[in-house]
Structure 1
């Protein structure tokens, strides 16, 4: 068999395999809700979202006054950017993260303590 025939068979098989993998992995991620978080920002936010969330007294007052909503907090934890320069990632047992994002079209910074068993929302700076 000459080289061009072998190359043609290889490319046909390779393209069918790629199409199969794309369809299979897309279907699997839709069913299980799996996501591919490899960057530090994504991994940190996913870790915080996976834990029960508690609120400090200051945050509970903001939630009670309805100046802030839990939907805003969840949007912050989904779309925010972690400022690793300000964050304290070396402390134990709870690491402190500053997450930048938007609340009602205003820039804000959320301070979160990420403990092994829960995440504590400390303050919000607008």
Structure 2
């Protein structure tokens, strides 16, 4: 058997194996989250999210919606300088994000073992440049 024939068989086997592994991992919903920001957000998203009284009050206002909360938990940035503080039996995380109206928000979430509690939503006022 010539070299290019062996190379073709080997390449076909590797390709077939990669496709098989891809289907198996995709069916299980496996995700590769190695960065700290993604690991924290993924951990919070997998738990049931409860709302505190203050967060429920702010969600009743018309400048923010639960879709903004979900988008921030999907695409937000964890501020690790202010986060990972032990509170009761959980850890406090500060997550920066945006609303659909392009307002900057900050979420204060306490991440417990079995649940996550949204403590507060802070609207960050940005300085607008004057002409």
Query: Which TM-score tier does this pair reach, normalised by the shorter chain?
Result: 0.7 to 0.9
Aligned to 1:113: 110
RMSD of Structure 2 on Structure 1 (CA): 2.4
* Structure 2: stretches of 5+ with no match in the other structure: 125-131
Aligned to 1:63: 59
Aligned to 2:14: 14
- TM-score by length of structure 1 reads 0.77
Deviations 1:14-34 (A, max 9, x none): 2332233334444x15xxx44
Distance 1:13 1:34, change over 3 A: closer
Higher helix share: 1
> What's the CA shift for 1:36?
2.9
- TM-score by length of structure 2 reads 0.74
| Runs of 4+ with >6 A deviation | none
* Structure 1: stretches of 5+ with no match in the other structure: none
